[in-house]
Amino acid sequence: MSNSSQSHSEAPSPAGSERPATDARPAKPPRIRVSKDGPYLVSGSVPLSKKTIGTNAKRESVAWLEDGPIEAPATYALCRCGHSATKPFCDGSHTRLGFDGSETADRAEYITRAQLYPGSAMSLSDDETLCAFARFCDPHGQIWSQPPATDDPSRAQQFVAQANACPGGRLVAWDNRTGKPIETHHDPEISVIEDPAEGVSGPLWVQGGITVEAGDGFVYERRNRVALCRCGQSQNKPFCDGTHASIGFKDGL
């Protein structure tokens, strides 16, 4: 930014020339629509990427590894039935298979279902129905044991990191002083999860408060982190419930 307070008038266009027209229409906000028994219809130029769950020597989940972007247009359809030959994109297999994608997830707000684990400086809320089996909760004696020690800055930092690594938003760290959640900022993005430690492919990690709209038009609570089922077998559709691990879902990517 210039430090000068002097204003400058815009120079006129040269005679016989015209400035190119600009499109003043606002960009479409990021949105995911869950189509009835079909794919996720993504609009708003949402970036698509691949992320891998990184583990330590104990096979504990400790880091998200960035595996780069997946090229996608401004609008695209992501497979929800688990059988597309062009994963993560839809190829119409849901129609051939007669996929039942009925949405059964509770539509109440997260906080009404979550159990609270109070701590010294921070607390933990946990909605087990949203578990995506990423297992970032396991290291350091499991996250549920940690809230009482969050008055220790190093323990608090570890606690927040583990909670924020939970892709489904099952776990949320809270600041006791402010009463507000402690969330890592995420720009809108959808990530295809791979889980080599379990030998499976995971859900779609939706980050950055992207609107998720049900097939009947209902808009789910906007959250910083949610995980959407893409194996087709979750009993909590459209959200992941970890079933991909028990059925050995693999996307071939």
State the DSSP code for 93: H
Distance CA 215, CA 103 (A): 8
Has residue 247 got a pLDDT over 90?
Answer: yes
Has residue 88 got a pLDDT over 60?
Answer: yes
Mean pLDDT over 202-228 rounds to 98
Mean pLDDT over 160-173 rounds to 99
What pLDDT score does 27 carry?
Answer: 79
What DSSP assignment string belongs to 113-172? HPEEE--SSEEEEE-GGG-----TTSTTT-GGG-GGGTTSHHHHHHHHHHHHT-TTS-EE
Has residue 22 got a pLDDT over 70?
Answer: no
Distance CA 110, CA 220 (A): 10
Residues of the chain with CATH 3.40.5.90: 31-54+71-106+189-247
Has residue 20 got a pLDDT over 50?
Answer: no
Q: What is the mean pLDDT of the chain?
A: 92
Tens-digit pLDDT profile for residues 59-71: 999 999 999 999 9
What pLDDT score does 23 carry?
Answer: 52
Mean pLDDT over 219-241 rounds to 99
* Multiple choice CATH, 31-54+71-106+189-247, 3.40.5.90, 3.20.20.80, 3.30.420.10, 1.10.275.10: 3.40.5.90
Has residue 103 got a pLDDT over 50?
Answer: yes
What pLDDT score does 25 carry?
Answer: 64
What confidence category does residue 253 fall into, taking pLDDT thresholds of 50, 70 and 90? confident
Question: φ and ψ at 175, to 5 degrees?
Answer: -85, 115
Report how far apart, in Å, the C-alpha atoms of 73 and of each of 164, 169, 188 are: 29, 27, 15
What confidence category does residue 9 fall into, taking pLDDT thresholds of 50, 70 and 90? very low
What pLDDT score does 24 carry?
Answer: 56
- Which pair of tokens denotes residue 106? 């509770």
- Close Cβ partners of 242 (under 8 Å, ≥ 6 residues apart): 131, 132, 133
- Which pair of tokens denotes residue 75? 């609008």
User: Going by DSSP bridges, is the β-strand pair 61-69/31-34 parallel, antiparallel, or unpaired?
Assistant: unpaired
pTM (predicted TM-score): 0.89
As a whole-number percent, the residues of the chain with pLDDT over 70 amount to: 90
